Amino acid sequence: MIAQNINNIISDIPENVKLIAISKTKPNEDIMTAYKNGHRFFGENKIQEMSRKFSELPKDINWHMVGHVQSNKIKYMAPFVELIHGINSFKSVRIINKEGNKNSRVINCLLQLKISDEKSKFGLEKEDLKEIIFSEEYLKMKNVKIKGIMAMATNTPDTNVIKSEFMFAKKTFDEINSSGYNLEILSMGMSNDYQLAINCGSNMIRVGSLIFGERN
């Protein structure tokens, strides 16, 4: 089922959209089923779990950290993480740069833009996000690269609300790119709203339950 679910989603999305299979809480066997089907992009929301899976599973897997990032734990994933999705402070950008330097690599990350009023949603206000990207301090950093924006819409059945939030993220993404900085990734859309997100300009989706089934 897992392999078929991935194939169904990939056949349903444009070629330029990357699918991150959210494997948090799922056993290695499930990940390996997807892996044997050719999938290499997986997302976790806890650094300890991702580090364990990294050590136990094939080394050509691209690991994405999609959960809320505690800055004191960045060092544990710095040697191997492919992309950190939810950065919402300049402090975290500084720490990623420092840990990247220690590991002699450039660590890619996305800044999380606040598009929802829900208290459970983290994120930077638009102006604060722009301030980080265009700051002299960030532009001098050698071991961190802000590759794009991540956004999470309100959990609501009202698609008009979700669409307006996604469009706000796309507008912010375009404004930054027209101001001279090259953002590549707009990560938004999950199992329940990825089609709408893609229609609004997303080129990276984070899908879990549609692939692996509901979590207990």
Residue 79 confidence (pLDDT): 98
Contact call for residues 83 and 77 (beta carbons, < 8 A):
no
Q: Give the pTM.
A: 0.95
pLDDT digits (tens, 9 = 90+) for 76-94: 999 999 999 999 999 999 9
pLDDT digits (tens, 9 = 90+) for 2-25: 999 999 999 999 999 999 999 999
Q: How many CB atoms lie within 10 A of CB 38?
A: 10
Multiple choice CATH, 2-212, 3.40.50.620, 3.30.43.10, 3.20.20.10, 3.90.1640.10:
3.20.20.10
SS3 125: coil
Residue 216 confidence (pLDDT): 61
Question: What residues does each domain of the chain span?
Answer: 2-212
- 192 closest CA partner among 207, 213, 178: 207
Asked whether the CA dihedral 132, 134, 140, 144 is positive or negative, the reply is positive
All residues at 6 or more sequence positions from 35 whose CB lies less than 8 Å from its CB, including other chains: 57, 58, 61
**What is the rounded CA–CA span in Å between residue 16 and residue 203?**
6
**What is the rounded CA–CA span in Å between residue 52 and residue 55?**
5
SS3 208: coil
